[in-house]
Structure 1
């Protein structure tokens, strides 16, 4: 066995790729003749599946070690009736989650499932509720759940363990979607049901090659289970500039194309990073490691933040809060997107979700303003009382040009208005908005 899963990988091959050290949990084989519905021929189908795969059910569950982190593994055997979920499958998955809670371990689901098992009718479908209940309890215990989408991952396998996981990692070309290939509309775009298609719409966090999946899982486990303690110290400034003399000079410096962007701060601050999905190219979310401990981060890239960007940030903050991982937000935006498309996409509600997520955090959130701090787009990701600023940043209720329009002043009043807004780094410290100006 190579330990590298490919197309049609077995449950044991998936496990070996992720956790070379593995101890299987006990699980009984189905014993009810004909299953709960007495389905004719079902016993023969199960017997053939057992003979073909060497497994007694469609999942193999146990405790493994990946990159030095122990986790409970749930691995699907697609060769056993298409990895379908029936009553005994649900029981094994339920017991795996209970074991994870009892031992305070994360869960890794290695999924290759066609969904619910037809031969068990509604008994099969109710297993999704059984699984979902255990996923909720795992979340309440503050334990992470990582899904590896090996494919195919359709129906209930996708709608519970897959899409419901905290982090979703897929293999290239994997078939992923609620509708399986046999029940899609005849004119369906096949690209929509692939790992790449799900990545494009933000339902998959990253795609990794088969020979990298073990390292990817080890990286995610390390990042989600070893949190830093206390508030994150703000990064140091990446450019040495004197403090601005005027408000307008502060605005110009923050808009300077040569100014270090949030991505540069993230690269400099973290030795190891892993991304969460964001459909806004101006928002980067994920988890990073510094001095062996994990920090969650949201980084604005200097553009107007879209509703999708705020939703990605909200997901990150809520997940970090649940896992007790401190958060660093790097603020740099002229403001929230305010065009018709943004309004149709619910920009106001998206800002509300982000600002309440930050406000409601039980864990510390540290903010560093690294460029423009424009209006609601910036305040949504700013932590009150824990905000720091760089010398080449500004923070304002609204950009000076918009302020003069609101106040019905002429364009010649922009510089004067910038001064009145008291938006310079040193003004923000004096006003108590920021705790301090970070040094180089």
Structure 2
């Protein structure tokens, strides 16, 4: 088998776009990776075309994995199954509906299994299951990431229950890569349905989709015929699924290699660089060195709309940020953003609350108040960070968790509680920085860290001063008095040991000089991550758990039992 496709000698010079029916000059259309310049429709690529497009030039090596496909059932519909196989092989020049290769994308080694819809509609049978499984096992042996390019109409009916078993077979293979800490990426192309969609296509760490690609278990026609309803026009498209938290990225074909390269780079930590003219660690750890401040004024400063947001800091203090979307359960909360990035060359996972600078941005981001899908998205990214051994950096800036009825119906309290437990046990360094307002459990759900820092004008409290005043003083006007009583200023938090250090703000606040604030944030994070990276995974967990166990009484089971015995005697 070669990477050339079988084409007719008298191939037409013009093609008709299947999306908008515009006539396209074939050579121009081919140079444009078979994407319509008029409507953006992404035509199907063959597996050989896909591999040639994705791999670095000269970096492709086909895997000589035999595809064993047998007619075990003696299946005959309008023609015998062996006849269908022979016809598919003759038309495509392929042995099966998957082509496997090793090579590099952006210089990063990877194993790829690319499906070809031309071969019996990319149906999942024993041969396909075997090839995908062996590609995963090759990645496991070579300790490199796995990329699967999907294109399938569903299970191969001619193989009956043996086809069904391939869903479990391939899922188990991806599970082994999870255990080994190897990155898996799924590239969804149009269409991806049935057994492929319900197994390896959606089990990858990161799911990337081409624009307009359809993904689902049951096809649109089957659903409409079954429930007798007309489905939305965009139903099951990549864009539809991105909005609902099932897809991380929708990437046009001409950007795929670059975006995949960035993802692969995050899974291949190398030597990290140093800051040019690296400043002294800006963190202040002695509360006596911090000036006294009016607590209510500090709350107002923490809420200023000119303060840099998480996305602002990602642009100024980090490089190569790749935002990942969705909780894979049905939502993608805009109040939480996260993804891979580099901190002075070191790959990290950054997750933070996102507010905004204008009324429109605040409304779009729910004023930085996450719902359950926001916390579950954060949890998914933290688990991925742990799998890839990436430090986790969280940037906290929220009035609190979203207080709506729909959030409660979708398990707001459960989502927060699960994040607290998850963060307490992460076996990678975790550093949290309160960049503005840290409100209640909605903030803590992203701040169970080995090191917790805060900007000088930040605040962190169990409740807002307004809420406390309304409940305890029965008077909203008592908010300034409540702010003082709650002890949520940076100076108070450092005195209480709630935070480990304070990052001084530029004159006029972080909003007055965002670049200088970002420089100080970067320097503080580099120092903290460097310190923690010298610790073993178990030591990191122990350090974090002991940190939070220490808030309050120092009583232990041993001292409690001793006191009990002494009291009895």
Of the three residues 347, 360, 366, the one matched with 2:431 is 366
Look up the match of 2:369. 304
Of the three residues 333, 343, 362, the one matched with 1:280 is 333
Look up the match of 1:247. 295
Q: Kindly state the Cα deviation for residue 243 of structure 1 after the two structures are TM-superposed.
A: 5.5
Look up the match of 2:51. 15
Question: Is the contact between residue 67 and residue 130 of structure 2 (CA under 8 Å) also seen in structure 1?
Answer: no
State how 1:415-430 maps to structure 2 within 5 Å. 415-430=480-495
Length, aligned pairs only: 431
Name the SS for the 1:193 alignment partner.
Answer: coil
Look up the match of 2:72. 36
Of the three residues 335, 340, 347, the one matched with 2:405 is 340
Q: Kindly state the Cα deviation for residue 181 of structure 1 after the two structures are TM-superposed.
A: 4.3
In 1, Cα distance between equivalents of 2:281 and 2:116: 46
Of the three residues 215, 232, 256, the one matched with 1:189 is 232
Look up the match of 2:113. 74
In 2, Cα distance between equivalents of 1:305 and 1:255: 17
In 1, Cα distance between equivalents of 2:131 and 2:202: 20
In 1, Cα distance between equivalents of 2:163 and 2:120: 13
Cα 1:152/1:244, change in 2 over 3 Å? farther
In 2, Cα distance between equivalents of 1:385 and 1:316: 18
Cα 1:243/1:59, change in 2 over 3 Å? farther
Question: Is the contact between residue 191 and residue 197 of structure 1 (CA under 8 Å) also seen in structure 2?
Answer: yes
Q: Kindly state the Cα deviation for residue 412 of structure 1 after the two structures are TM-superposed.
A: 3.5
Look up the match of 2:254. 211
Name the SS for the 2:267 alignment partner.
Answer: helix
Q: Kindly state the Cα deviation for residue 280 of structure 1 after the two structures are TM-superposed.
A: 1.4
In 2, Cα distance between equivalents of 1:335 and 1:31: 56
Unpaired runs of at least 5, structure 1 = none
Structure with the greater alpha carbon radius of gyration: 2
Is residue 2:182 matched to residue 1:153? Answer: no
Look up the match of 1:142. 181
Q: Kindly state the Cα deviation for residue 224 of structure 1 after the two structures are TM-superposed.
A: 2.6
Q: Kindly state the Cα deviation for residue 227 of structure 1 after the two structures are TM-superposed.
A: 6.8
Question: Is the contact between residue 149 and residue 188 of structure 2 (CA under 8 Å) also seen in structure 1?
Answer: yes
Question: Is the contact between residue 272 and residue 290 of structure 1 (CA under 8 Å) also seen in structure 2?
Answer: no
In 1, Cα distance between equivalents of 2:459 and 2:184: 39
In 2, Cα distance between equivalents of 1:142 and 1:48: 40
Cα 1:285/1:79, change in 2 over 3 Å? same
TM-score w.r.t. the length of structure 2 is 0.73
Cα 1:388/1:268, change in 2 over 3 Å? same
Question: Is the contact between residue 86 and residue 116 of structure 1 (CA under 8 Å) also seen in structure 2?
Answer: yes
Question: Is the contact between residue 339 and residue 351 of structure 2 (CA under 8 Å) also seen in structure 1?
Answer: yes
Aligned-residue CA RMSD (Å) = 2.1
Deviation string, structure 1 residues 1-49 (Cα, Å, up to 9, x no partner): 85936412001111111113221222224353xx121112111111111
Q: Kindly state the Cα deviation for residue 354 of structure 1 after the two structures are TM-superposed.
A: 1.6
TM-score w.r.t. the length of structure 1 is 0.93
In 1, Cα distance between equivalents of 2:55 and 2:498: 48
In 1, Cα distance between equivalents of 2:220 and 2:398: 43
Unpaired runs of at least 5, structure 2 = 1-29, 35-41, 273-277, 284-289, 327-331, 356-367, 505-516, 518-569
In 2, Cα distance between equivalents of 1:14 and 1:317: 31
